[in-house]
Amino acid sequence: MTTLILQHGDCLLHQTGLRHAESPERVSAVLNAVRGIEGTETLPAPLATTEQLMRVHPASYWDELVQAEPVDDGEPHSIVALDADTFMSPGTINATLRGSGAACFAVEQIEAGNATNAFCAVRPPGHHALAEMPMGFCLLNHVAVAARYAIASGFAEKVAILDFDVHHGNGTQGIFEASPEVLFVSSHQMPLYPGSGARSEKGVGNIVNLPLAAGDDSKAFRAAWNGYGLEALERFRPDWIMISAGFDAHERDPLGQLHLQDDDYGWITTQIRQVAESHCGGKIVSLLEGGYDLEALGSASAAHVRALTA
């Protein structure tokens, strides 16, 4: 069976300004690194539908985003700021629609038996986006849209979302903290942006946070997942697993101070695959989140995809 790589050129059109860490070159680095990996097939990501988005994001919020997108006036840097970190340019709306659309399309393809799992190489990322607020480079919460889509379509009763980005997925946690049908497990550096993610944040028993300290390395990361995260996943027995795959906990990344290696991303992906094969027929949808050193982003994402295809 196949690991789908979902991407679209629209994701390169979203501009964030000079020297912004979340650049179009990130997707190019990932696609160059995973190109040609045996067992993969690359397909274009469709646009998400309004119905898919509205299960997570209110229509009023989406209308505000659409209205905020600047008009393409031919100038090279027509960009508006939604907050200190989050920007829109001409093309941003379609780029973020491709992110949520990729995730939902991946669910459809896997459910239909056309692939085993999928990796969505899309931007802007999504896990900081709240239901009614953009933040942290994110406008739509793609993994949340996909989880709600899988449940609403009758493909799943229980979905697990696993997040190993260096930053806590506060948006995903906020969307699902009162939803027992969704398990959210996150390893992340703390303290660090956005300031959430303490062990005491447990939702309705469906939130498992694995905070790591600046300077922590492979040993601490693997111990956290072995000791709490994977155990919680096994107990939950999900029908689907979705991954917020951020690669900014890599030791080379400029936005965090953890010291993960490429092998750690291969390791955690393999552990997740084993649980998926035991409980949900291997069904995994992974989405690109952070990762801001282009060399590390490429090599770590390749390790992730190779583990998905193993």
Pairs from 249-252 (Cβ < 8 Å, separation ≥ 24): 249/164, 249/165, 249/166, 249/187, 249/188, 249/189, 249/212, 249/221, 250/291, 250/293, 250/296, 250/297, 250/300, 251/217, 251/296, 252/293, 252/295, 252/296
Number of domains in the chain: 1
Active site residue: 14, 128, 168, 188, which one? Answer: 128
Range of the structural domain that residue 122 is part of = 3-309
The reported pLDDT for the residue numbered 18 is 86
The reported pLDDT for the residue numbered 75 is 65
What stretches in the chain show pLDDT beneath 50?
none
- Tokens of residue 13, six digits: 């059109």
Q: Are 152 and 144 in contact (CB under 8 A)?
A: no
| pTM exceeds 0.85 | yes
For the question of residue 128 being annotated catalytic, the response is yes
The reported pLDDT for the residue numbered 162 is 98
The reported pLDDT for the residue numbered 1 is 72
Q: What CATH number does the domain containing 169 carry?
A: 3.40.800.20
The reported pLDDT for the residue numbered 78 is 85
